[in-house]
Amino acid sequence: MIPQSFIQDLLNRVDIVDVVGRYVQLKKGGANFMGLCPFHNEKSPSFTVSPTKQFYHCFGCGAHGTAISFLIEYSGMGFVEAVKDLAQNVGMVVPEREDNIPLAQRQEKQAKSMALSDVMSRANDFYRQQLRAAQPAIAYLKGRGLTGEIAARFGLGYSPDEWDSLRQVFGDYENEALVESGLVIDKSADEGGGHRKRYDRFRGRVMFPIRNTKGQVIGFGGRVMDGGEPKYLNSPETPLFQKGSELYGLFEARQAIREAGYALVTEGYMDVVALAQLGFPQAVATLGTACTPIHVQKLLRQTDQVIFSFDGDNAGRRAARRALEACLPHASDNKTIKFLFLPKEHDPDSYVREMGAPAFEEQIREAMPLSQFLLKEIIGENDLRTSEGRAHAQFAAKPMLQALPASSLRLQIVRSVAQATQSTPAELEALFELEKPVARVKAAPPRAKRTAPAGLERQIMRLLVAHPQLGAELDAEALQAVASIAPDRAEMLAHLVGVAQSMGEQANFASLVEHLREAGPEFDSMIAEIASETESEFDAVRAEMLGAIRQSKIRAIEEEMQALVTSNLRTEDERNRYRELMQHKEVLKRQTGVAVAS
């Protein structure tokens, strides 16, 4: 877990205008920068980036956040990955609480990673340059219907049919980074290892660079142009490249996925490139391995709908089953996952070319929902007219239903399985020991709805979220006063003040927002309001805060005085307390410039 102090320091060093500007064309507009929102389609800019708040906000779709959340939402990175990416750009090394590796070793690891990235980038430039003069490779790509424009978009290249063509790029061909990156193979000529031979992994192949979510080349897929084997050769697993975590074409497809409203997952590199050529740039592909839960998670960060396209043969069915199993842990009520099966003789590329784009779009619309495919896999060839057949179906259903998170979707699937196997949903939940059973739980009594903060306490909280350095102005008396007039918000306010004060003088809006992520959605609406407002002068804001604090103290005093009056001021202590409160109230009123009542 990354310490919050590091997050705060990072956001103080990073300029969100630079971060967002790498992906969105921004223009100065008053105190802020404006551009077209990358999270929804628009023709006039409603996306604003505030260098003062270090925050972005879209007036069109409501998207907002810090530099960290921008990378998460735009690039599909995880939180840790986004933090590491920003840290690397400003020369910081991310400390991890559970990581006992000394700083020097972490720096060495980071330097090694950068060295691997450098050799991959240089190799990619070389392969792209080689393609320009490789007539057989150009003819092959044209034969597949690809234009030079689409080849350039995906950075396609060619590896010469030579044992060590990379020597032209790397004067030090013995560099270990070449082996560790998977570009070069270092093989012993005999078991004793006395004589070593080093040669290029990729030779005589069309090269497909594989990029991560930052656009960096982390691996390659190489395809032969004749009948050689293997047809596709992929980079091995390296510190940069893990097949189970990366998707080919995701970097290039991000904007198209947002515009189309779904991601189309195919089985190969050529499917992705060809579909982009044919009008389906929202396609991505797994990298010579089965679909994994990490793949699914990455896709669902980009869109609410994922459609898997598989060939209709047995291999395609097996791949679809593995994809189904990978999807189950991430299936939810607000996400849609579907499965498209083409005729046996077609892959997506051939189907579109023969049947046309409208026919393929119809196939996509008619794709099989996850729930239907799951039920089909459960039933299989079991004879549901017999007890044994129904028991076999339930046996097949158990691990898949256990993999689904508790949700309305799971309940609907459980009901379908129960109906098919002549059971009840409650029986299946009990039999399968499903976590957080839905069908057989008693409804909890409704909880008292928490009122939204209003009045003085809301004013103080908004000011504190916008300017967390004002936390220093809130003393114990002020907190007690606000808590007394808004007891239902006392815990929320105390948490906010505690976080703001712990951040010290360097606290700002963006870093506070990242701190509040762990508190849940309670502050979301307030953050969105503040993000959409123009910046105020700090002195005016501070004066407003001090005024609200004084008003809170006065109101708390008046409530205590009223309680004393109600008790008829029977004791001397009560009468002394009343006089003390009256004096304190008059002092506070003088501070606000309000005349003291006679």
Burial 513-540 (b: 16+ CB within 10 A, else e): bbbbbeeeebbeebbeebbeeeeeeeee
- Give the Cα separation of 410 and 418 in Å (integer): 12
Q: Where in the chain is the domain with CATH 3.90.980.10?
A: 112-208
- As assigned by CATH, the class of the 455-592 domain is mainly alpha
Does pLDDT of 249 surpass 50? yes
Question: What token pair was written down for 262?
Answer: 């779904």
Residue 72 has pLDDT above 50, yes or no: yes
In angstroms, how far is the first alpha carbon of the chain from the final one?
59
Instruction: State the span(s) of the chain assigned CATH 1.10.860.
Output: 455-592
When the pLDDT of each residue in the chain is averaged and rounded to a whole number, the result is 84
- Asked whether the beta carbons of 567 and 536 are under 8 A apart, the reply is no
Confidence of residue 230 (pLDDT cuts 50, 70, 90): confident
Please choose, from the candidates 81, 115, 111, the residue with its C-alpha nearest in 3D space to the C-alpha of residue 96.
81
Residue-wise pLDDT for 419-435, tens only, equals 999 999 999 999 998 87
Is residue 598 scored above 70 in pLDDT? Answer: no
Q: Under CATH, domain 112-208 is a member of which superfamily?
A: DNA primase, catalytic core, N-terminal domain (3.90.980.10)
Residue 214: predicted pLDDT: 79
Query: Nearest 5°: CA angle at 480, between 519 and 500?
Result: 40
Look at residue 351 in the predicted model and tell me its pLDDT: 92
Asked if the model's pLDDT at residue 302 lies above 90, the reply is no
> How far, rounded to the nearest angstrom, does the alpha carbon of residue 197 sit from its chain's CA centroid?
43
**Half-sphere exposure for 596 (CA within 13 Å, toward CB):** 11
**Mean pLDDT, rounded, for 108-135:** 91
Do residues 232 and 268 touch, judged by C-beta distance below 8 A?
A: yes
pLDDT higher than threshold 90 for residue 150: yes
The two tokens of residue 274 are 């060809």
Answer whether residue 362 shows pLDDT above 90.
yes
Average pLDDT for 350-368: 95
Single-letter amino acid, residue 424: T
- CATH topology for the 375-431 domain: Pheromone ER-1 (1.20.50)
Averaged pLDDT for residues 302-319: 87
For 369, the 3-state DSSP assignment is strand
Report the pLDDT value the prediction gives residue 444, as an integer from 0 to 100: 42
| Residue limits of CATH 3.90.580.10 in the chain | 4-89
pLDDT at residue 161, as a whole number: 94
Residues of the chain with CATH 3.40.1360.10: 250-366
Tokens of 519: 């508190």
The dihedral built from the CA positions of residue 468, 473, 474 and 478, taken in this order, carries a sign that is: negative
Give the pLDDT of residue 281: 96
Judge whether residue 347 has pLDDT over 60.
yes
Cis amide prior to 425 (ω within 30 degrees): no
* Res 282 pLDDT > 80: yes
Angstrom distances, CA of residue 224 to CA of 140, 204, 234, 349: 10, 7, 12, 18
Token readout for 230 is 């293997």
Task: For the domain covering 250-366, report its CATH number.
Answer: 3.40.1360.10
Domain with CATH 1.20.50 in the chain: 375-431
Q: According to the model, what pLDDT value does residue 189 have?
A: 42
**Quick one: 4-89 is in which CATH superfamily?**
Zinc finger, CHC2-typedomain (3.90.580.10)
Position 489 confidence tier, pLDDT thresholds 50, 70, 90? low
The answer to whether 425 and 411 have CB atoms below 8 angstroms apart is yes
Closest CA to 18 of 54, 57, 61, 69: 54
Separation of alpha carbons 157 and 392, rounded Å = 51
Structure tokens at 481: 């006063």
What is the predicted pLDDT for the residue at 99? 54
| 190 phi and psi angles, rounded to 5 deg | -140, 165
